[in-house]
Amino acid sequence: MKVLLSIKPQFAEKIFNGTKQFEFRKSIFKNKKVKSVVVYASSPVQKVIGEFEIEEILMENPATLWEITHNFSGITKEYFD
């Protein structure tokens, strides 16, 4: 199953060039069968730009999640907080 996620263009670009290997969301998909994400780059791009497979979903408290993912988060700690 696929989902469509709206992602800011600067972060979408980092996902596809490999510098952002984690996408952070406050809530998880209700359907546990989701395996693929179709990326819609939000304004000003406003179009679907690609797709990626979900390798794993991490569910941790924010401090632990940052500790695990910060090297390939593609964002700053300030933005994460």
Q: What is the average pLDDT value for the chain, to the nearest integer?
A: 97
DSSP 26: S
CB atoms within 10 A of CB 20: 20
Residue 2: which pLDDT band, with cuts at 50, 70 and 90? very high
Q: Beta strands 36-41 and 47-53: pairing type?
A: antiparallel
What average pLDDT does this structure show over 36-60?
97
Rounded-to-integer distance, Cα 31 and Cα 73, Å: 24
pTM of the model: 0.88
pLDDT at 37: 98
Rounded-to-integer distance, Cα 21 and Cα 32, Å: 20
Rounded-to-integer distance, Cα 30 and Cα 71, Å: 28
Half-sphere exposure of 3 (CA within 13 A, CB side): 13
pLDDT at 8: 98
Residue 51: which pLDDT band, with cuts at 50, 70 and 90? very high
